[in-house]
Amino acid sequence: MFIQINHLNKQYLDKNGQPTEVLKDINLEIDKGEFVSILGPSGCGKSTLLSIVAGLTGLTSGEVLVDGRQVRKPGKDRDRGMVFQQAALFPWLNVRDNVTFPLKKEMSKKEARAQAAKYLHMVQLGNYQDHYPHELSGGMQQRVAIARALSMNPEILLMDEPFGALDEQTRSRLHHQLETIWMETKKTVLFVTHSISESIKLSDRIIVMGTRPGTILADIKVDLPRPRDAHKEDMVKIEEHIMSYLKKEIDKVISEELAYEHNS
Ligand code: ADP
Ligand code: MG
């Protein structure tokens, strides 16, 4: 088992200093090379979970193991690369320097440039290395961010709604590219999304989360050949299956909100 999450709990203090439970008894095992989506409504704790696996956020109790070792601060382990919804590129650096920036501490300048070029070619931006972020579309910026994360050669790629801000066509192209990169590099991918169709298109497994507190409702295997677009009918079946879990969640949230309004 490559990633192992055991009885993970996470509380945050609310504005009155009261602890609120964000993640409750999360248990999850992920194999090396798996593409796993974490799917759930806004606020269910997806980003918190990913951030704990990245070592960016601490946990309240339980444990997260990667390759048998407890996760530590991200600076110490080079085994996890993060991609966020916003590319977060340095606007004053060109594409090449954005990618080599985190590499410089690890290797010579020449090696860093070679590494950057390799992954920029992989995301089909080999000809844009001298461009600046403002000269690129949102989809291209996101591809630079993916190249930057890959260039550290992490074992795990952690992606938090990386295509959430993009239009449908760009998103669809990037799905295809990410799938290709995943098959080429054999990375383990943990992919956060609130899009059901995106999760079905990309993943081997979909972890469906419910909210308040964040829990795992279902762990659904997607056993369809890739590319998935040729299997629309099977995709619809899986979508309906996922919806059956999420509908209950939506009903729960609505009734809680009604009760809250009623009591206040
Ligand atoms: P998601 O990514 O699924 O939308 P998040 O993980 O961002 O959910 O947030 C889950 C819950 O935790 C939300 O209710 C959010 O308000 C709360 N939360 C997230 N970060 C913090 C924080 N730093 N301090 C307090 N509460 C937080
Ligand atoms: Mg989030």
d(CA 77, CA 215): 27
Q: What is the pTM of this model?
A: 0.91
Which atom of ligand 1 is found nearest the CA of 194? Answer: 3
Into how many domains does the chain fold?
2
Do residue 221 and residue 159 come from a single domain? Answer: yes
* Residues 187, 119: Cα–Cα separation, whole Å: 14
Q: Does ligand 1 come within 6 angstroms of the Cβ of 12?
A: yes
pLDDT value for 31? 97
131 and 15 in a common domain:
no
Dihedral, 176, 179, 181, 183 alpha carbons, nearest 10: -140
Whether residue 145 sits in one domain with residue 161:
no
Task: Tell how strand 61-66 and strand 3-13 pair up.
Answer: antiparallel
227 lines ligand 1 (CB under 6 A): no
Q: Which atom of ligand 1 is nearest to the CA of 46?
A: 3
Q: Are residues 27 and 54 in the same domain?
A: yes
Segment holding 159, helix H or strand E = strand 156-160
Which atom of ligand 1 has the smallest separation from the CA of 50?
Answer: 6
Task: Report which of 163, 171, 97, 176 is spatially closest to residue 129, judged by C-alpha positions.
Answer: 97
**Ligand 1 center to 178 CA (angstroms):** 27
Q: Is residue 222 part of a domain?
A: yes
264 located within any domain? no
Q: Are residues 132 and 21 in the same domain?
A: no
Residue 138 lies in a domain: yes
In this structure, the answer to whether residues 70 and 158 fall within a common structural domain is: yes
Would you tell me the crossing angle of helices 109-122 and 138-151 to the nearest 10 degrees?
130
Ligand 1 pocket, residue 26 CB under 6 Å: no
Give, using CA atoms, the residue closest to atom 20 of ligand 1: 48
Closest C-alpha to ligand 1, atom 19: 48
CA separation for the pair 159, 37 (Å, rounded): 9
Q: Is residue 246 part of a domain?
A: no
Query: CA-to-CA distance for 249 and 243, rounded, in angstroms?
Result: 10
Q: Give the tens place of pLDDT for each residue, 83-129.
A: 888 888 999 999 999 999 988 888 999 999 999 999 999 889 999 99
What residues make up the domain containing 15? 3-79+154-230
Q: Is residue 40 part of a domain?
A: yes
Cα of 85 vs centre of ligand 1, distance in Å, is: 15
Q: Residue 104: its pLDDT value, please?
A: 85
Does 69 fall in a domain? Answer: yes
The first and second tokens of residue 54, run together, are 């990245």
pLDDT by residue for the chain (264 residues), tens only, comes to 899 999 999 999 888 889 999 999 999 999 999 999 999 988 899 999 999 998 889 999 999 999 888 887 655 556 788 888 888 899 999 999 999 998 888 899 999 999 999 999 988 999 999 999 999 999 999 999 999 988 888 889 999 999 888 889 888 989 998 999 999 999 999 999 989 999 999 999 999 999 889 999 999 999 999 989 889 999 999 999 999 999 888 787 787 778 777 777
Instruction: Give the atom of ligand 1 at the shortest distance from the alpha carbon of 14.
Output: 25
Ligand 1 centroid – CA 43 distance (Å): 6
Query: What CATH code is carried by the domain that includes residue 221?
Result: 3.40.50.300
> Strands 61-66 and 35-39: what pairing?
unpaired
Pocket probe for ligand 1: among 48, 216, 249, the residue whose CB has the most ligand atoms within 8 Å is 48
Give the Å distance between the CA of 82 and the centre of ligand 2. Answer: 13
Distances (CA, A) of 171 to 70, 165, 167, 177: 34, 9, 6, 10
- Tell me whether residue 102 is in a domain: yes
**Cα angle 85, 186, 57; round to 5:** 40
Asked if residue 210 has its Cβ within 6 Å of ligand 1, the reply is: no
Say if residues 160 and 127 touch (Cβ distance below 8 Å): no
Domain end point (choices 138, 153, 168): 153
Consecutive H or E run containing 198: helix 196-202
